Structure 1
Amino acid sequence: MPLFEVETNSHIVITWAEDADAATAVVTENFPSDAVLRLTKRPRDTWVISKAALGIPSKTDPCQTARECLSRAEGDKVHAIRLYMKEKGVDLEQARKVIESNMVIGW
């Protein structure tokens, strides 16, 4: 099944679909208020995001505690921040920065 990249006014959606119409339907179903701006059939069945394009340095230093908090919170950022604050005894702003930066580098 082909992989499609669908850009809307608010999102970039990567989805497998039988054809372009089916890919558009996936986006319309999940983001009904978004307008499809661009739809591209990817040449392979893998999609890669460049860290440099996202502004992430090539050498990353993930925080194991933050990753454990994200895992326990099942990806819920607010809950992970609370867990991190409790675990490390830091304030809200410090916990937010650590959790969000670890979310960006992929947990």
Structure 2
Amino acid sequence: MPLFEIETDNHIIISWANDADEASSVVADAYPQESVKRLTKRPRDTWVISKSALGIQSPVDPCSTARDCLSKAEGDKVHAIRLYMHETGVDLEQARKVIESNMVMGW
């Protein structure tokens, strides 16, 4: 099943779908008030996000550190952000990006 990138005004959704119509229906189901601005069939069945594009640049491994903080915080995002800031010395915005991106990945 192909992987589609579906962009709306407020979201970028990554979803598997059999075709473009089925991919568009994902938006209709999840965000009925939004319309599809761009729909792209990905060339492969994986999705990669550059850590530098998210602003994640650190001498420590942000993923393992973030996952460790999420585990210690038992999934509490705000507490995990505070722990990450304490352990790495990054600012609030940087910590938020790292923690949220790891939450999306299903830490």
Task: Name the TM-score, length of structure 1 as normaliser.
Answer: 0.68
Q: Hey, what does 1:93 align to over in structure 2?
A: none
RMSD: 3.2
Q: Are 1:3 and 2:6 an aligned pair?
A: no
- Residue matched to 2:69: 66
What corresponds to 1:94 in structure 2? none
| Structure 2 Cα separation of the partners of residues 84 and 27 of structure 1 | 30
The 1:68/1:35 distance shift into structure 2, 3 A limit, reads: same
Structure 1 residue runs of 4 or more that deviate by more than 3 Å after TM superposition: 58-61
Change (3 A) 1:35 1:26: same
Percent identical residues: 47
Q: CA deviation at 1:101?
A: 4.8
Cα distance in 1, alignment partners of residues 67 and 77 from structure 2: 15
| CA spacing shift, 1:58–1:3, aligned 2, 3 Å | farther
Structure whose alpha-carbon radius of gyration is higher: 1
Distance 1:66 1:14 in 2: 26
- Number of residue pairs matched by the alignment: 94
Structure 2: runs of 5+ lacking an equivalent: 87-91
CA contact (8 A) 2:8 2:35 kept: yes
Q: Distance in 1 between matches of 2:70 and 2:32?
A: 32
| Superposition TM-score, scaled by structure 2 size | 0.68
